[in-house]
Structure 1
Amino acid sequence: MDSITHTLFGLTLYGTVDKKKLDKKHKQAYLVTAVGASLIPDIDVVSSFWDTEGMYQMWHRGITHSIFLTPLWALFFSLLCLLLFKVKDIKLFFLGWLAVIIHTTSDLFNAWGTGYLEPVSSIRMTFGTIPIVDFVLWMIMGIAYIFSKRKRTKSPLYFRMAWMFIILHFMVQTIQGVFIYSQYDENYDQVALSAGFIPWTYSVITKKDEEVSIFSDSLFQKKREQYVLHSSEDANLDMLFDKRPEAKTLYDWAPFVVLVDDDDRIGLYDPRFYRNGQSFLFEYIEKNN
């Protein structure tokens, strides 16, 4: 998910806490823990500043998003609150733990995926059933906030209800996505799913031999072929990987790629992010250089 959504997740999680009997320092500690722990896995973005080997694609959403690291992040915020606010409360640990789990698990549902099981497994896990920016989630959390301001005494209830609707939304989107995926799985060598910004719509990316096709599909409309792409599977990628290590990282990171080998350049791109004639995850070199 994007940083705004993760921040809103943290604020919504903080909203579920009954704060009537909490003093100012406890409220601050709970807020810092809920929001901070909801964002902390994305601290890996700083790795881009020292990445000289083209590994950022692997580092981002890598080990910091591991489910095995979640209790350590929770412990970090417990110690931080003890240092900053002199607050020692076991509930802060569990709040932080839940916030980090929500972050790492929700990212599984995006096409980008995460290293959820690192370091046990380097496989990038992704379901592709929820868009990175999901306005339905924003709407659910926004409605909870509006109602909480009208009836402050029931504020935690509204935010807890919001989490129920968030879970329901994830379930409905994912069940539909899995069903649509299953319609393609037996007919192609490789299949990937990417949720659209419009609820219950999906892009299905398929590969068979040298042909990559991208379909728009949902349970409520007939599938529509959007793009047919050619992948030069016989291309020699040694020079590309030597000059652009980012290309090797992308090759290993993506479920599958489209290989480009023409008169001008050699490269590869991730077709899951193909829009308007190009993918924003495209690594290549010019042949005349």
Structure 2
Amino acid sequence: MDSITHTLFGLTLYGAVDKRNLDKNHKRAYLVTTVGASLIPDIDVISRLWDTSGQYQMWHRGIAHSIFLTPLWAALFFLICAVIFKIKDKKLFLLGWLAVFIHDTSDLFNAWGTGYLEPFLNNRITFGTIPIIDFVFWVIMGIAFILSKKNKQKSPYYFKMAWAFMSLHLIIQSAQGLLIYNQYDEKYDQVALSAHFVPWTYSVIVKQDDTVTIFQDNLFQEEKEQYVLFSNKDADLDYLFSQRPEAKTLYEWSPFVVLVDDGKRLGLYDPRFYRDGQSFLFEYIER
């Protein structure tokens, strides 16, 4: 998910805590833990500062997003609160652990995926059933915030209900994505999903031999062919990788790629991010 959504997740988690009997320092500790732990895995973006080998695509959402690292991030915020706020509450550790778990797990469901099982499995795990910015989540959390302001006594209840409705949305959206995925998986060599911003609507990216086709589909309409792309299997990947290390990283990171060698450019791109004639993730060199 994007940073705004992760921040809202943290605030909604904080809102679900009953703070009526907490003093100011406890409240601050809870706020720092829920929001900070909801964002901390994305600290890996600073790897851009020292990336000289084109590995950023693997470092971002890599080991920092591993499920095995979640208790360590939680322990970090427990120590921060102990030092800054003089609060040693085991609930802070559990809350921080939950916040990091929500961050890492929610990132599994969009097309970017995460290194959820690193260092034991380096592949990106992605389901592609939730867009990276899901406005349904925003609406649910926004409603909880408005209701909590109108009735502060029931504030934690509204935020807990928000988590219930967001979980339900995730289940419904992902179940539909799985059904659609299975319809294509029987017909094509490779299949990937990328959810649209419109709920229950997906791009289905399929590869058969050297042809990649992108469909728009949902359970309530006929599939619509959007793009047909051709991958040049004779592209010189060794030369490309030697000149553009980022291309090798993208090749390893993506479920599958489209290879380009048209005499002007040699490169590859991830078709899941293909819009209006170009992919957002495209690494190439000029001929």
**How big is the shift at 1:236?**
1.4
Corresponding residue of 1:186? 186
For residues 246-261 of structure 1, the aligned pairs below 5 Å read: 246-261=246-261
Corresponding residue of 1:239? 239
Corresponding residue of 2:118? 118
For residues 42-121 of structure 1, the aligned pairs below 5 Å read: 42-121=42-121
Corresponding residue of 2:2? 2
Match of 1:229, SS state, is strand
Structure 1 CA distance for aligned equivalents of residues 29 and 71 of structure 2? 17
Residue identity in the other structure for 2:82: L
Structure 1 CA distance for aligned equivalents of residues 238 and 91 of structure 2? 53
Corresponding residue of 2:39? 39
Structure 2 CA distance for aligned equivalents of residues 237 and 19 of structure 1? 58
Corresponding residue of 2:224? 224
Match of 1:193, SS state, is strand
**How big is the shift at 1:124?**
0.6
**2:177 counterpart of 1:195:** no
Corresponding residue of 2:169? 169
Corresponding residue of 1:273? 273
Residue identity in the other structure for 1:149: K
Give structure 2 stretches of 5+ with no counterpart.
none
**How big is the shift at 1:32?**
0.1
**TM-score normalised by structure 2 residue count:** 1.00
| Runs of 4+ with deviation above 3 angstroms | none
**How big is the shift at 1:235?**
1.3
Structure 2 CA distance for aligned equivalents of residues 15 and 83 of structure 1? 24
Structure 1 CA distance for aligned equivalents of residues 238 and 121 of structure 2? 26
**How big is the shift at 1:81?**
0.2
Q: Deviations over 1:246-275 (max 9, x none)?
A: 000000000000000111011000000000
Give structure 1 stretches of 5+ with no counterpart.
none
**2:157 counterpart of 1:135:** no
Structure 2 CA distance for aligned equivalents of residues 263 and 115 of structure 1? 35
Corresponding residue of 2:20? 20
**How big is the shift at 1:49?**
1.0
- The number of equivalent residue pairs is 287
Match of 2:18, SS state, is coil
**How big is the shift at 1:280?**
1.0
Residue identity in the other structure for 1:60: H
Structure 2 CA distance for aligned equivalents of residues 219 and 186 of structure 1? 17
Corresponding residue of 2:149? 149
**How big is the shift at 1:21?**
0.4
Structure 2 CA distance for aligned equivalents of residues 200 and 140 of structure 1? 16
Residue identity in the other structure for 2:150: R
Structure 2 CA distance for aligned equivalents of residues 98 and 231 of structure 1? 42
Corresponding residue of 2:204? 204
Residue identity in the other structure for 1:101: F
Match of 2:223, SS state, is strand
Structure 1 CA distance for aligned equivalents of residues 147 and 286 of structure 2? 56
**How big is the shift at 1:224?**
0.2
Match of 1:194, SS state, is strand
Residue identity in the other structure for 2:254: A
Match of 1:176, SS state, is helix
Structure 2 CA distance for aligned equivalents of residues 144 and 89 of structure 1? 27
Q: Deviations over 1:52-110 (max 9, x none)?
A: 00000000000000000000000000000001100010000000000000000000000
**How big is the shift at 1:41?**
0.2
**TM-score normalised by structure 1 residue count:** 0.99
